[in-house]
Amino acid sequence: MLLPISEVNRLIRLGRPLLLAGSEEALSQLDRGDWIGGTISYFMTPDGGRRSDAEVYVAELPADAVTCEARLYECSDLPSVCQNTPYDGYTLLILPFGGETHQRFALGAPAYKDCFVSPVVGWVAGVPLESIGTRRAKVFLGREGRSSEDAAVAMHVVLPPEKAAEIDIFNIFRPGDGPAIRFPETGFSAKTAFVDEVETSFAEYYRAHGRSGAAPLTADYCGTIVNVSIQCVDEASGEVQFYAPVFEKAVYRFAKPVADYSSTFADALRGEHADAGAFCCNCILNYLFGKLEAKHTGQLTGPMTFGEIAHQVLNQTLVRLRIVDRRQPG
Amino acid sequence: MVPPSSHPVWRDLITGRKTLRSDSVALNMLLYNAKLKMSRGAEPEEEIELIHRAHALFEKLEFCLQDELAQLLR
């Protein structure tokens, strides 16, 4: 829910552990307390997509959480995020866009010990779109009244033994019928790619085939489709820049175009999929390319972010955390 | 019941010789990353680590991976 600063400060003073998202100006006005936050000004709300610099998005931690521990991670500590995730619980993680922790986590998380076994969910903090390149995203550790452009913040949450955290994703993109694309190296940029096994200038391929930034690269992770979004073509270096890394040996295909983001999300989030969950976020690129301002995307609310975290960093994807009953196998 | 990590089915799983259909994001991502690592030529100790990760995920999520377990042992 989006709340005015006075109301957020009231919740902070009640001592409730909170996950917050808002503009730097808004987050800087909050009292010290048991919260973590990251900068973003775009949100999914019950009234549709919306920008707000004055309000703060609040996600309260589950009422039945046993403990919540907020802490800041410098880059060198980042690999321990998964190991520090409680076995009966999960971690909410916020990374500042373009910071060293963003780069390191995006590249390294799949290799971290306990990654995928320990649910780590969260988002990449950003800046107002008109301020890209002039302002830096920040994360906040409320207990210490501290903010950072490079470090990450995390909330480690312990659940009762009968509960479990489950991450699911809604990706409106599906792989297109184009050629298979592989990259020679893991990274946030690529000069060349193997397109149907032929080494090619990826920037030239991208331009020649009239691709737009709206259609991400997709990879089929054993049935889960993972996107990597194109940021730009760097004309000076001839490299294509990505919002998340491509991985060596992974097979990518450009996604099929999506005609109507709003109705596609709304259709996907009906019935049993309508549950708002304990936390949810969606991508700023979906907001932008899907023209989601004032449009509904189902009942889910949360920040529209510069990257989503579902174990690893994703793009153009709606991520949701649900707390489920840990049923014993029959 | 989750087979012990010494069971050969785990190696088949991380190399892609055995495939599963699952809605679990965690399982699908773990298996895809394991297969990528194996395709890049994992060292024997890395292979053991990947097997332990897959086994650990099944142990932890046994309550919701019953269908995947049945596929694993089919």
Determine contact: B40 vs chain A, CB below 8 A.
Answer: yes
How many domains does chain B contain in total? Answer: 1
Q: Is residue B52, in this structure, part of any structural domain at all? A: yes
Residue from the list A111, A166, A249 with its beta carbon closest to the beta carbon of B39: A249
pLDDT of residue A263: 83
Closest CA to A140 of A3, A286, A321, A8: A8
Q: Is B1's pLDDT higher than 60?
A: yes
Determine contact: B32 vs chain A, CB below 8 A.
Answer: yes
pLDDT of residue A208: 87
Distance from CA of A221 to the nearest CA of B (A): 5
d(CA A311, CA A115): 6
pLDDT of residue A210: 67
pLDDT of residue A66: 94
Q: Which domain holds residue B22?
A: 9-72
Share of chain A above pLDDT 70, in %: 98
pTM value surpassing 0.90? yes
Q: Is residue B41, in this structure, part of any structural domain at all? A: yes
Strand order in the sheet with A308-310: A67-73, A152-158, A89-96, A120-125, A308-310, A312-314
Mean pLDDT of chain B: 95
pLDDT of residue A267: 82
| DSSP-assigned states of every residue in A3-50 | EEHHHHHHHHHTT--EEEEE-HHHHTTSPSSSEEEEE--EEEETTEEE
Q: Is residue B29, in this structure, part of any structural domain at all? A: yes
d(CA B46, CA B18): 19
Contacts with A250 from chain B: Cβ below 8 Å: 32, 36
Record: contact A116-B30, CB cut-off 8 A: yes
State mean pLDDT over B25-50.
94
Mutate to test the interface with A, among B32, B57, B65, B71 (most CBs of A within 10 A): B32
At A22, is the secondary structure helix, strand, or coil? strand
Record: contact A116-B27, CB cut-off 8 A: yes
pLDDT of residue A110: 94
Q: Is residue B2, in this structure, part of any structural domain at all? A: no
Instruction: Give per-residue pLDDT as tens, A293-320.
Output: 888 777 789 999 999 999 999 999 999 9
Contacts with A326 from chain B: Cβ below 8 Å: 63
Name residues of chain A where pLDDT drops below 50: 330
d(CA B25, CA A238): 34
Mutate to test the interface with B, among A121, A221, A317, A328 (most CBs of B within 10 A): A221
Q: Is residue B22, in this structure, part of any structural domain at all? A: yes
Instruction: Give per-residue pLDDT as tens, A160-187.
Output: 999 999 999 999 999 999 999 999 999 9
Closest CA to A125 of A157, A155, A146, A149: A149
Contacts with B19 from chain A: Cβ below 8 Å: 222
d(CA A269, CA A170): 8
Record: contact B25-A310, CB cut-off 8 A: yes
Contacts with A222 from chain B: Cβ below 8 Å: 19-20, 22, 27-29, 31-32, 35
Record: contact A116-B29, CB cut-off 8 A: yes
pLDDT of residue A329: 54
pLDDT of residue A327: 72
Closest CA to A185 of A123, A249, A122, A280: A249
Q: Is residue B17, in this structure, part of any structural domain at all? A: yes
Determine contact: B43 vs chain A, CB below 8 A.
Answer: no
Closest CA to A319 of A227, A218, A215, A213: A227
Mutate to test the interface with B, among A82, A83, A117, A320 (most CBs of B within 10 A): A117
Q: Is residue B23, in this structure, part of any structural domain at all? A: yes
Residue from the list B23, B53, B63 with its beta carbon closest to the beta carbon of A116: B53
Q: Is residue B65, in this structure, part of any structural domain at all? A: yes
Instruction: Kindly indicate whether the ipTM for this predicted assembly is greater than 0.90, answering yes or no.
Output: yes
Record: contact A329-B22, CB cut-off 8 A: no
Residue from the list B22, B36, B57 with its beta carbon closest to the beta carbon of A223: B22
Contacts with A87 from chain B: Cβ below 8 Å: 60
Record: contact A166-B64, CB cut-off 8 A: yes
